[in-house]
Structures are given as structure tokens and as C-alpha cells.
Amino acid sequence: MDPQSLQAILGQAQAFFASKGLRFTKQREALVTLIFRNDEHFKPEDLLPKLGKSHAVSRATVYRTIALLVESGMLREISLGGGERLYDPNFLQSPHHNHLICVDCRKIIEFEDPNIDVMQNCITRRLGFSPTQKALRIEGSCDRLRLLGTCPNFKEGKKKSIPGTKRRV
Ligand SMILES: [Zn+2]
Ligand SMILES: [Zn+2]
């Protein structure tokens, strides 16, 4: 993400925190920067080691800040089932993208397709809705593991491990 967009995001986060009567502390600023600097899907636990010692951000602050960013609409939650959740910082720049989730290796691929937009618009109009959020989610098995029997994302006995890899098509 370019510095200008990041500044805009920091401003947006700051305004939201202010609207809730909360201070935009150095810790929160460091967190928001980390989350939006790269647009990878992430788990809250992924963030702590990346923050380094300088900001001394507590676990509670990480979870609370993420919850607030979700509430503000800046961050989206993706449920992987079994209570497992990922967070997606990419909705601001690309609000209508969809997700393909591999149930074996938990790889997530983002995709957009104009035909899906047309279809979604037709359906919502026919049913008398104005969509405020559109996202299609498809779960399946990726070809790599199915055809080759191996996949760099798949760790035997660690089915729940979620890689940081993401591909957009
Ligand atoms: Zn996404
Ligand atoms: Zn897979």
C-alpha cells in the first residue's frame, strides 16, 4: 500500500476511534499500520510477533483494536469454521472481492469477476434489496493437493494451519 493510502486509512481509523471517545494511541497506530501496510489475510496471533518490542502492545489491545476496526467496516472477518477466523484488510480497496477457500490447506484466493456483480445485482434487485455488502465465498479442495498429493501450504496433522499466502486473480 502506498504511503498516501496508509495515511488516509490512519485518518479514517483515528476518526472512528474519536467518534467512540477513544484515543488513537501509538500502539493502535502501530497496529493499524501493520494491518493495512500489506493486505494479507491474518489471524490476530500473527500480529504480536511482528509488532516488535518497541510498541509493547498487549494481546487485549490487539483483539480490541481488531474488533473496533471490524465495527468501523474497515476490516472484514472471514470465518473458516470451527470458530477459526481470519481478518481481511483488503475490503476498503477492493470492496466486492470474493474468496475461494481450500478446506484442505486453508489457502485463500481472492477473485473478482464482473459476471458475479451482474448476477448479484440481478438477484438483489429482483428480491427488492439494495446490497450494502457483496461477497461470494466458495469452499473446496485446491487442485495442487488433489492432483499432485502435495501442497506447500498443507502440513500433515496440522490441518488448521493457515498460510499467509494469497493470490489474486
Ligand atoms: Zn480477501
Ligand atoms: Zn489446498
**Cα separation values, 58 from 20, 82, 84, Å:** 20, 25, 21
pLDDT for residue 160 is more than 60? no
Q: Check the CA dihedral 22-23-25-28 and report its sign.
A: positive
The CA distance from 5 to 17, in Å, is: 18
Cα(146) to centroid(ligand 2), Å? 8
Task: Give the per-residue pLDDT at 32.
Answer: 94
Strand partners, 71: none
Cα(102) to centroid(ligand 2), Å? 5
Cα(99) to centroid(ligand 2), Å? 13
Cα(113) to centroid(ligand 1), Å? 14
99-115 pLDDT, tens per residue? 999 888 888 889 988 89
Task: Give the per-residue pLDDT at 148.
Answer: 83
36-49 pLDDT, tens per residue? 988 788 999 888 88
pLDDT band at 54 (very low <50, low <70, confident <90, very high): low
pTM of the model: 0.75
* Ligand at shortest distance from the CA of 41: 1
Task: Quickly count: other Cβ atoms within 10 Å of residue 96's Cβ.
Answer: 16
Residue 135's SS3 state is: coil
* Ligand at shortest distance from the CA of 137: 1
Task: Give the per-residue pLDDT at 51.
Answer: 82
The CA distance from 148 to 137, in Å, is: 25
Task: Give the per-residue pLDDT at 155.
Answer: 65
* Ligand at shortest distance from the CA of 99: 1
- Contact call for residues 163 and 105 (beta carbons, < 8 A): yes
The CA distance from 76 to 41, in Å, is: 10
Place of cell 493470490: 167
130-154 pLDDT, tens per residue? 888 888 999 988 888 888 887 777 7
Nearest to 40 by CA among 140, 111, 108: 108
Task: Quickly count: other Cβ atoms within 10 Å of residue 43's Cβ.
Answer: 14
For the chain, give the percent of residues with pLDDT over 70.
89
Strand partners, 100: 109, 138
Task: Give the per-residue pLDDT at 158.
Answer: 45
What is the rounded average pLDDT of the residues 54-77? Answer: 90
**Domains of the chain with CATH codes:** 3-88 (1.10.10.10), 95-168 (3.30.1490.190)
